[in-house]
Structure 1
Amino acid sequence: MLSPASLAEWTRAAGLLDETPEFTARDLAEAVEVREAVYRTVWARLEDRPPTEADVDLLNAHATRPRLVPTLLPDGSTRREGTLSGLLATLAADLLDLLGDPDFGRIKRCANTDCTRLYIDSSRGGNRQWCGMSECGNRAKVKAFRRRHREPH
């Protein structure tokens, strides 16, 4: 179940923010709205159809806001802090950059039919099948192994 705390955890795990503010239920709803618009827009592009006007308006509105800005610390490391508005602006602007990038054609959907994740296939041969080996890829390999070992030779 999504919660403001899960939004905070995601921002840290994704490396978007080093420290997160206390997100509210309203913040979570706004983040989910942007996430879903991103997802629908990428799918529209993958299916060679235009995105909805509402998604275009929402993503453009967020992309024009001030983005997250990394800070260089005296020890040479960097720190990323900011607000939900800056986070969503960064995500929307990054999506707009990705839509115009030649690598957009490398975006794929996970081969696991139960998974809805999209990923950029950066493998040398462009033949990656799963969003990640630690989850979907491993499950598929275990399933195939069990199937091979159940069948008589």
Structure 2
Amino acid sequence: MNEFVFVSGRLCLDLAGTMLWRRSVRTELLGSPDDLRRWICSAGVVDDPGSVDSRGLERVRRLREAVYLLVGHWPLGDDADTAVKDALAEVNEAARLPLPKRQLDESGRATRTGSVDEVLGAVGYDAVDLLSSSQFSRMRECANNDCTRLFVDLSRSGARRWCGMAECGNRNKAATFRKRQKQQSAV
């Protein structure tokens, strides 16, 4: 089973989603360099990031937190605090890094190569792209009060409420159903 879910519609938001339940029982999905390697491969950023060490893990976590903070405070006002300005600098620094290299092999399969630097570059580039695009106006936080996952609502109606149906959406539907059943049986 894959412990990572990719429901955000953007790479930078999927990375931000590797810290779950930020308002309650914070759950770190990137607890080790091996976790980061699995996330990189699952996200399809590069096929094999090579050796990932604790320094690389810390750099990715730092960017993740910068993305989360910056998205929550965007657009910046004149009164933006130092932490938010530092987050902007972190995202911009990552966006200046090289992107993963894409090539075709003889069979026509696309390959993506790079290291942690290229992963940071891809996430930083995606964050800059999101924050400067019209898609940002459709960025939402999951309606589950405990969930802090962010996503871009690309639904036609623009009324998406849940990060994903498999997690928060189904939980809410089941809870609503149980509540309705309980109310009906009390009558």
Is residue 147 from structure 1 mapped to residue 147 from structure 2 by the alignment? no
CA distance in 2, matches of 1:137, 1:94: 26
Secondary structure of the corresponding residue to residue 45 of structure 1: coil
Q: TM-score, normalised by structure 1?
A: 0.92
2:72 to 35, 39, 43: 43
1:61 to 90, 93, 101: 93
Q: How many residues align?
A: 152
Report the Cα offset of residue 53 of structure 1.
2.1
Q: TM-score, normalised by structure 2?
A: 0.76
1:82 to 106, 109, 114: 114
CA distance in 1, matches of 2:158, 2:96: 33
Pairing of 1:96-135 with structure 2 (within 5 A): 96-135=128-167
Q: Percent identity?
A: 36
CA distance in 1, matches of 2:96, 2:39: 23
Is residue 26 from structure 1 mapped to residue 55 from structure 2 by the alignment? yes
Higher RCO structure, 1 or 2 (CA under 8 Å, sep 6+):
2
CA distance in 1, matches of 2:114, 2:58: 18
CA distance in 2, matches of 1:17, 1:36: 21
Report the Cα offset of residue 74 of structure 1.
1.4
CA distance in 2, matches of 1:142, 1:22: 43
- The unaligned stretches of length 5 or more in structure 2 are 1-27
Letter in 2 for 1:109: E
CA distance in 2, matches of 1:138, 1:79: 36
Q: Give the conservation status (yes or no) of the 8 Å contact 2:45–2:122.
A: no
Report the Cα offset of residue 20 of structure 1.
2.9
Letter in 2 for 1:23: V
